[in-house]
Amino acid sequence: MSPGIKRPRRPRRLTRAYQWFDERTGIRRLLRTGLYEAVPVRGSWFYTLGSATLVLIILQLVTGIFLMFQYVPSVQEAWQSLNFLKQTDIFGSWVRGTHLWGAYILMFVIGLHLVRTFLSASYKRPRELNWITGVLLLVLVLGMAITGGFLPWDQASYWTAVVVTNIPAYTPVIGPFIRTLWRGGEAVGPITLTRTFGIHVWLLPSILFPLIGAHLALLRKHGEFGSYVNYRGAFRTKEGLAIPPPPDRLEADPPYPAAPTDELWSVPLETEDFYPHQTFKDGIVSAVLVLLIFALAVAIGAPLEEKANPAAVTYTPVPEWFFLPLDQLLVLLPKQLTVLILVLPMAGVILLLALPFIDRGHERNPFERPAIVVPGLIIAFFLVALTLLGSGRLFNL
Amino acid sequence: MPESKKQMSRRRFAVWGTTISGALVSLTLGIPIIGYILSPLFARRDTPVEKRVGYILDLPDGQPVRFVVQFPQNAWPVPDEDHTIYVVRHGENFKVFSNTCTHMQCPVRFQKDINQFLCPCHGGLYDLHGQNVGGPPPKPLAQYTHRIDRDGVLYVKNALDEEL
């Protein structure tokens, strides 16, 4: 093209279209608020875990939607529909593999996200509800993992369904009723599958996604706390740089980044724009995870065992790896204490929910909070130990 | 316009109207949905079905033998489901055990090497009388209601002597 030629019109038309759209929707302002938030610089690779969790949940939503193009939630046809997929449709098998491995990696990443938030004490005032919504999301994701495991209706699914629906039966008084409600009858059968399918694809997601919205809205309201390293030695306030008084003379409430109108508004020492600096790191981590999931989906795929057979006596049911601690407890607990299988996980969830109200001091450095961090590590140690104890079963040792 | 205390203000009326409309909608939706979810609790139990198992008078003494029986499932007409039953002969007495573990309902199987029933999930053990003798199971194995006709043929009903 010679330099004398007029600039092409197309961009201007696009710009005009954008302006037209913006005038009616306010999209420009929405994007600006969404993209240009000041986030901490130091430690920000650790803060990619939250966005990775979100990306993996969306991955589950997308692959889940497309699995429904073929899957039939019926004891007669669930297994056949997936077996047909496996036999005849390589891409469909990859989609199913991605859904399974995505779930596995999601459980792992959501655990790391929890550990990171725990260690950096990001749950302290005013972010208690960020933490609580996060704990509820963890419970819901676990619920998705349990219910999803029922759906293929192969041997693994069937016996998982039997054992898992039987666990609530140990609740005092109402236990057997809960089991009957979940199963849709006394025994695991056709209604167990349809009910669990409904829970998996509509009931839990319809709570999960609004709760993710609340989790993110709270994150944006209070800003990313990051970690104490971002405030060490000094912090920036509306008035300028401030040096905190010695710890014994600290005021009751430490400075924290909250809404700009807040009296105590401060930001971490070094910040950068969410876009493109944090999104770059978020993008890299998420992309690596998604590629890893896809590689596992192609290389290993999602297993489909023999069709469910309630009369089997040679099949050894094995739990999913993330239920190994619970399953190992079932092996170890004496029969008088089986009810602990319900009590311990519930106590765990209640402890997690109560954490922001137990650990209320202004200390955020994990090395200065031994009363909180050490018990946390002990619980984590027991979970890992139970998993290792039970892991022999994964390979039928 | 001053209002007397007894008269409801326009605003208050609207507040009540909104609340009552919302409550009505919730109730109208809630009653059928909750009833629908709870319906398995009130479902009429099907009368037990009796199935022919086979001739059993030649079974070895004190040695469990596995049979597969088909019982209906708890829903609309779908093909019957296979169930494992273990028949143990103790002299003149026959016991017909369900192979559902009383701990977590895993499939119990007879292990010849230890001469016991073993649950592979959490290591529950039962002896040849169905007694829970090891591991976490809280109760003995359940037994099926059954009869043996005069030709020595065993018939089993899908009814157990105790709740699982």
pLDDT tens column, B64-120: 999 999 999 888 889 999 999 999 999 989 999 999 999 999 999 999 999 999 999
A353-377: average pLDDT? 91
- List CB contacts of A278: < 8 A, sequence separation 6 or more: A39, A44, A47, A48, A272
Contacts of A360 (CB under 8 A, 6+ apart): A124, A125
Within 10 A of A94 (CB to CB), how many other CB atoms are there? 16
| pLDDT recorded at residue B153 | 96
CB-nearest to B107 from A75, A190, A313 is A313
Spatial contact of B108 and A312, defined as CB atoms under 8 Å apart: no
Per-residue confidence at A223, pLDDT binned at 50, 70, 90? confident
**Global confidence as pTM:** 0.91
Task: Please report which residue ranges of A5-89 form alpha helices under DSSP H.
Answer: 10-25, 27-35, 48-67, 78-88
Task: Tell me the pLDDT tens digit for each residue of A63-111.
Answer: 999 999 999 999 999 999 999 999 999 999 999 999 999 999 999 999 9
What is the least distance, in Å, from the CA of B133 to any CA of chain A?
11
Q: Does B112 touch chain A (CB under 8 A)?
A: no
Residues of B in contact with A185 (CB under 8 A): 40, 43, 74-75
Q: Please say if the pLDDT value at position B43 is more than 90.
A: no
How long is chain B? 164
Question: Which of A167, A203, A149, A180 lies closest to B74, judged by CA?
Answer: A180
How sure is the predictor about A345, in pLDDT bands with cuts at 50, 70 and 90?
A: very high
Instruction: Please name the residue of chain B whose CA is at the shortest distance from the CA of residue A327.
Output: B122
Decide if A327 touches B, using CB distance below 8 A. Answer: yes
Position A241 scores a pLDDT of 61
Report whether pLDDT(B29) > 90: yes
**Which chain B residue shows the shortest CA-CA distance from A186?**
B74
Residue A235 and residue A226 in contact, taking contact as beta carbons nearer than 8 Å: no
Scanning every residue of chain A, which has its alpha carbon at the shortest distance from the alpha carbon of B98? Answer: A311
Region of A113 (left: φ > 0; alpha: ψ -120 to 50; beta: rest) is alpha
CA gap A98, A291 in Å, rounded? 10
- On chain B, the residues whose CB falls within 8 A of the CB of A334 are 136
Q: What is the band of A311 on the pLDDT scale with cuts at 50, 70, 90?
A: very high
Please tell me the distance from the alpha carbon of residue A101 to that of residue A296, in angstroms, as a whole number: 7
pLDDT tens-digit map of A142-163: 999 999 999 999 999 999 999 9
- Whether chain B has a CB inside 8 Å of the CB on A171: the answer is no
pLDDT class for A34, splitting at 50, 70, 90? confident
Pure H helices in A186-306: 190-198, 204-222, 279-299
The residue behind tokens 């014994």 is A248
| pLDDT, average across residues A338-362 | 94
Note whether B121 contacts A180, CB cutoff 8 Å.
no
C-alpha A210/C-alpha A198 separation (Å) is: 18
Q: Containing H/E element for A144?
A: helix A128-150
Higher pLDDT residue, B64 or A240? B64
pLDDT for the residue A183:
96
Whether B51 contacts chain A with CB within 8 A: no
Beta bridge partners of B125: B118, B134
What's the confidence (pLDDT) of residue A125?
80
Distance CA A266, CA A228 (A): 13
**pLDDT band for position A247 (cuts 50, 70, 90):** very low
Average pLDDT in chain A: 89
Query: CB distance from A312 to chain B under 8 Å?
Result: yes
Contact status of A184 with chain B (Cβ, < 8 Å): yes
